[in-house]
A and B are shown apart, each in its own frame.
Chain A
């Protein structure tokens, strides 16, 4: 059963749609009104990264570097070790893509208080094509010491994540998606960085035979809606499951993931990222040590994307509800 604190209508594909990046912009603005040390740097993508409102309300706290992501990272590092809380935003392929080493040395190793927002992450960036679809950023950020990684699943969660990250001292990476996607969470949905939240729990199902969870979906980002829809499909077939929203990929909520792995006995990771190095890998690293269970991975299968309608791309690259259901059954079968 889907949790009460979510918008239940998402399961009927009739939910409100909003871009995750818009929630981010609102969150930064709200955080900035409360903390005068918050500053924003833009690399010629002010409107697209949704910080235009900030630039109008706080012009003296807004800096434009032009198309220069490396400089953006370095300036942010300097600001962050001088008492400011800089938010830097660009498309994820450019930041933290192009400026990876600047982020490593000047932000992460310096332990500077910088928040890095990678917009247009994942294949749902769509028509722009593979050059602009970051599918490596979770991997390249989570391997960096001192860095925290948060992947909000919708605009509401992105807003909470932006506000929360401003209060965490040190480098944080926020992975954001371009397209308008379903608003899954509500203001009531809990969001605590580092704490995974259950979005679907079959033990609360009205169907007696579908109560026992046999598989746990670990997911993050807007693609989690496909995991929820897969859980609903499985319920029809009297297969119980849990959907865990692992919005914080680093630090990982190890306790909760181990608990669900033990309870369900199999895991399917669902993410819009290369299956190498992303959330699935992080969970596999943990479970291999603590609680090895059969695991399947939904994500980009180590290939680049292409131009196209986001929904069609999700289907073509094996992240559809149908594929997720198939993987779940495979994982369950491997238990015996």
Chain B
């Protein structure tokens, strides 16, 4: 979008992140199933991408020159749906159809259901491979658009993820940027207990990547990291974004029990009230 990141703009993106969080809570409470912690933890990053970073046209989702955003860990799709609706891809009212019959908003995103969803995902560890395919295609055709791949930390348990990491390093895919939601939880507990990933950044470095570590809730850091990734000419870049799962809702934060369940009506009310309170404080 090529706009300077002024203080006003940061505040605007932060507001959007709050709106995204509220929509996530509403959607999940309505759907009565789905994942809570992951989507909330990625709200700031999705707000930064949909409202500042991505070169896209919500009214023309298949615009050839658009940047591609691949969501590898498809289960956090409520955050993508909320960001898409709020940026004008489809009516916000449609968010209520999440996970229901005849909806375009599948429980895990499906490319052919909803324009603007670049790939079908859900089964973990396959997003980076697909993002590589897109980046290769852009490189072959000398296209300027960039490919971004959002991944979870837990899906680094998958062998396929490492096959893809090795390939992107080998082919020096500078038009590819991966972003890891490093929230340290997965379904069975903390990532370092389930299957240790650390030292994660050293692993990527060894595979030929440029590595950045950021606070995934800091809009300025998110934007600066993407700008740096664009400037790295000879390597793909991975942004390890440290996030708090459930961010914005204190009773969900850092609690892996909120990985795979939705809030009930009462919990949803509490959550939304809390998100709105932070808005007032800032103003």
Listed in ascending order, the chain A residues whose CB lies under 8 Å from chain B are 39, 60-61, 63, 65-66, 68, 70-71, 73-84, 86, 101-102, 105-106, 109-111
Question: Is there an interface contact between A78 and B136, defined as CB atoms closer than 8 Å?
Answer: yes
Nearest neighbor of B132 in chain A, beta-carbon distance: A75
A101 CA / B140 CA spacing, docked (Å): 28
Nearest neighbor of A60 in chain B, beta-carbon distance: B140
Question: Is there an interface contact between B133 and A80, defined as CB atoms closer than 8 Å?
Answer: yes
Listed in ascending order, the chain B residues whose CB lies under 8 Å from chain A are 68, 70, 110-112, 118-123, 125-138, 140-141, 159-160, 163-164, 166-167, 171
A80 CA / B132 CA spacing, docked (Å): 11
Question: Is there an interface contact between A83 and B164, defined as CB atoms closer than 8 Å?
Answer: no
Question: Is there an interface contact between A101 and B166, defined as CB atoms closer than 8 Å?
Answer: no
Q: Provided the pairs A74-B164, A105-B120, A106-B120 are in contact, do residues A79 and B129 lie with their beta carbons within 8 angstroms? A: no
| Shortest CB distance A69–B (Å) | 9
Q: Given the complex, which residues of B lie within 8 Å of A111, measured CB to CB?
A: 111-112
- Of the candidates B123, B134, B140, which one forms a contact with A78 in the assembled complex, judged by CB atoms under 8 Å apart? B134
Question: Is there an interface contact between B160 and A70, defined as CB atoms closer than 8 Å?
Answer: yes
Question: Is there an interface contact between A110 and B120, defined as CB atoms closer than 8 Å?
Answer: yes
Question: Is there an interface contact between B120 and A74, defined as CB atoms closer than 8 Å?
Answer: no
25 pairs of residues in contact across A and B, judged by CB atoms under 8 Å: A66-B166, A70-B125, A70-B126, A70-B159, A70-B163, A71-B163, A73-B129, A74-B160, A75-B130, A75-B133, A76-B133, A77-B126, A78-B129, A78-B135, A79-B133, A79-B134, A81-B118, A86-B133, A101-B123, A105-B121, A105-B126, A106-B129, A106-B130, A109-B120, A110-B120
Q: Given the complex, which residues of B lie within 8 Å of A65, measured CB to CB?
A: 163, 167
Which of the listed residues A66, A71, A73 has the most CB atoms from chain B within 10 Å of its own CB? A71
A83 CA / B160 CA spacing, docked (Å): 23
- Of the candidates A39, A66, A78, which one forms a contact with B119 in the assembled complex, judged by CB atoms under 8 Å apart? A78
A71 CA / B132 CA spacing, docked (Å): 10
- Of the candidates A60, A61, A74, A83, which one forms a contact with B130 in the assembled complex, judged by CB atoms under 8 Å apart? A74
A81 CA / B112 CA spacing, docked (Å): 11
